[in-house]
Structure 1
């Protein structure tokens, strides 16, 4: 589904991503783990057109992501939930959800049905549907960001640090939502510093260190790898 080969990305003279290659197959959860500053977010930004690649290829099915305008990606089923949520703080919960469906053709899209699906999965959003998004708690804002993404009926979700800044209880809830997204048929590329949680739900995983993918394989194998356990799992 998503294939990245020999990707190089720079910020001026700083070479941030070095010949990175990874793939996400249809129906998988793939985790990209690594320390803060390793380049995980840069890879997602490059995939979704927020940052230009210096070299390499990125394809989604038959779509060349290097030449596709970022604003068109949602029409192909690619949805990015960015680090920091980036909800519309001065709009209500309902208005944020409606914005998630902006690309849909109104004559072929059932807005009400999809909002009800989101409210069913996120009952707290239903309780607060008239509330300004900026007044929600951090966990509720993350739920809203994910609910807004689901309104676009994505085929693949790119999730950037969804558990950042949340309490352990809310982290568990967010990861249960990620598993729900997978269960309803959405493919997921998950960027996450919480390696333990990320590896626990993934099919496969990649480790990124200072812009280089150093380890890859089945998530269960990486979970038992001594290098991973020492560096990322605190064991």
Structure 2
């Protein structure tokens, strides 16, 4: 579904991503784990067109994303939930969800999809008229995910969805990621909580300063001594 080949990304003279290859197959949850500064967010921003690669190619369902402007990427079936959630803080929950459907023409289906969002995220329905900036951190994360799902994505990019959340809310968010995947959406997950990410993912790539250091089955990486030592406190 998503293929990244020999990807290089620079910030000025800084070589942030150094010739990496990876892929995401339809139906999977794939996670990118690594320390701060490893390049995880840069990769997601490059996939969604916010950054341009200096070398390499990203393809989605056979289409070269390098040539497609960022504002057109969602029309292909890719949604991005950025680090820090980036909801529209002065708009209501309902208005944020409507904004997620801005690219869609099937107006009759939009309300139906919103009801599905409310089934998965019942707290959003309770707060449908509330100003989004007044929601808790966990509720804002739910809203950011719901807004992305309103685009009807085939692939959702999640950047640090558990950041800054209390442990109980972290469990809830990861359960929701699993639910979204079970409903048919492929997931590429960037996450510093390596333990949670590896428990939910099918496959994983371990990044270190712009390189892929390790990759493989997520459950196998969970018991890898190197991963345990570096990321799991083992």
SS of the residue aligned with 2:66? coil
**Is 1:146 the counterpart of 2:145 in the alignment?**
yes
SS of the residue aligned with 1:143? helix
RMSD (Å), alpha carbons: 0.8
Q: How does 1:186-225 map to 2 (within 5 A)?
A: 186-225=185-224
Could you say which residue in structure 2 is the equivalent of 1:88? 88
SS of the residue aligned with 1:159? strand
Give the distance between the partners of 2:19 and 2:213, measured in 1 at CA. 11
SS of the residue aligned with 1:134? helix
Could you say which residue in structure 1 is the equivalent of 2:62? 62
Could you say which residue in structure 1 is the equivalent of 2:48? 48
SS of the residue aligned with 2:184? coil
**1:106 shift after superposition:** 3.7
Could you say which residue in structure 1 is the equivalent of 2:29? 29
**1:70 shift after superposition:** 1.1
Q: Deviations over 1:70-112 (max 9, x none)?
A: 11111111000000000000000000000000000045x4121
Give the distance between the partners of 2:168 and 2:150, measured in 1 at CA. 25
Could you say which residue in structure 1 is the equivalent of 2:166? 167
Give the distance between the partners of 2:200 and 2:50, measured in 1 at CA. 27
Q: Deviations over 1:55-74 (max 9, x none)?
A: 00110012111001111111
Give the distance between the partners of 1:56 and 1:115, measured in 2 at CA. 37
**1:137 shift after superposition:** 0.3
**1:171 shift after superposition:** 0.3
Q: Deviations over 1:144-183 (max 9, x none)?
A: 0001111111100000000000000000000000000110
> Which range moved further: 36-45 or 109-118?
109-118
Give the distance between the partners of 1:93 and 1:73, measured in 2 at CA. 24
Give the distance between the partners of 2:67 and 2:228, measured in 1 at CA. 39
Give the distance between the partners of 2:115 and 2:43, measured in 1 at CA. 33
**Is 1:184 the counterpart of 2:209 in the alignment?**
no
Q: TM-score, normalised by structure 1?
A: 0.98
